[in-house]
Amino acid sequence: MNASPAIQELKARLAQATAVTVLTGAGISADSGVPTFRGADGLWKDHRPEELASPEAFARNPTLVWEWYNWRRGLIATKQPNPAHTALVELEHTVNDFWLITQNVDGLHPLAGSQRLSEIHGNIWKVRCTQCERITVNRDMPIAILPECSTCAGLLRPHIVWFGESLDPEDLQKSFDALRKCEVLLIIGTSGMVYPAASFGPIAKENGAFVAEVNLDPTPNSDLVDVAIQGHAKDLVPQLVS
């Protein structure tokens, strides 16, 4: 089908860019069957995000928080990357200076083969000891509740950035570098509500990047971007990259 002028322009810019940064959110995994956070089938529908994804919730009731993460790990374990994830791996191999910033904790980008990426909100398959801070990959399904560190017997928590917690300074630095130097920033499948990721579009814009958005719906970013393309990421992203 002949692509719209917006898709053609974005495709051309991606083809000639030497530095491209991509920011993804839950929408890119929706086509893999992973529920989004704030959509109709939202993961949060029976829980408010702050209710469970916060250090206070974990301190108050670690068992409930681990039960919720076990449910999510079980769900995500059955999901595969979709053509949008795969297209970003292709883009990573063709663009000279590429960086992927994802807010997703589902691990589908690394599973698809993305290597030049920052998982700025962590990864649901990683756990961190609350005592000795050791980070390990744990794919137990389900994880034993309450999980203990094999080194110091401390309580393990998901290695995920909860609301009210700061992001890893290294991830932030890497993200800011990528936002400053990119010629094109492609924002895919995020509602643009959660900070600091919500400020990444404006930062790239300030630095002169061509900013584009792929989303089912308009978002707070839509007024800012140079091109907003509406539709499913699994259909649109491969068109932009091929």
Residue span binding ligand BV8 (CB under 6 A) among the ranges 12-20, 57-65, 183-191, 203-211:
183-191
Residue 56 touches which of ligand BV8, Zn ion, none (Cβ within 5-8 Å per kind): none
Residues 13-32, interacting with ligand BV8 (CB under 6 A):
25-27, 30-31
Spell out, one character per residue from 196 to 215, where the chain touches ligand BV8: x when CB under 6 A holds, - when not: x-----------------xx
- The three state secondary structure string of the chain is CCCCHHHHHHHHHHHHCCEEEEEECCHHHHCCCCCCCCCCCCCCCCCCHHHHCCHHHHHHCHHHHHHHHHHHHHHHCCCCCCHHHHHHHHHHHHCCEEEEEECCCCCHHHHHCCCCEEECCEEEEEEEECCCCCEEECCCCCCCCCCECCCCCCEEEEEECCCCCCCCHHHHHHHHHHHHHCCEEEEECCCCCCCCHHHHHHHHHHCCCEEEEEECCCCCCCCCCCEEEECCHHHHHHHHHC
Closer to ligand BV8 by Cβ: residue 86 or 103: 103
Q: How far is the CB of 145 from ligand BV8 (least distance, A)?
A: 16
Binding ligand BV8 (rule: CB under 6 A), the pick from 6, 39, 75, 238 is 39
Q: How far is the CB of 35 from ligand BV8 (least distance, A)?
A: 8
Sign of CA dihedral 232, 236, 241, 242: positive
Active site residue 121: yes
Binding ligand BV8 (rule: CB under 6 A), the pick from 21, 86, 103, 175 is 103
Closer to ligand BV8 by Cβ: residue 139 or 153: 139
Nearest to 110 by CA among 128, 134, 92: 92
Q: How far is the CB of 56 from ligand BV8 (least distance, A)?
A: 12
Q: How far is the CB of 200 from ligand BV8 (least distance, A)?
A: 12
Query: Residue 137 interacts with ligand BV8 (CB under 6 A)?
Result: no
Active site (catalytic) residues = 121
The residues of the shown chain that bind ligand BV8, judged by CB under 6 A, are: 25-27, 30-31, 36-39, 53, 103-105, 121, 160-166, 189-191, 193-196, 214-217, 219, 232-233
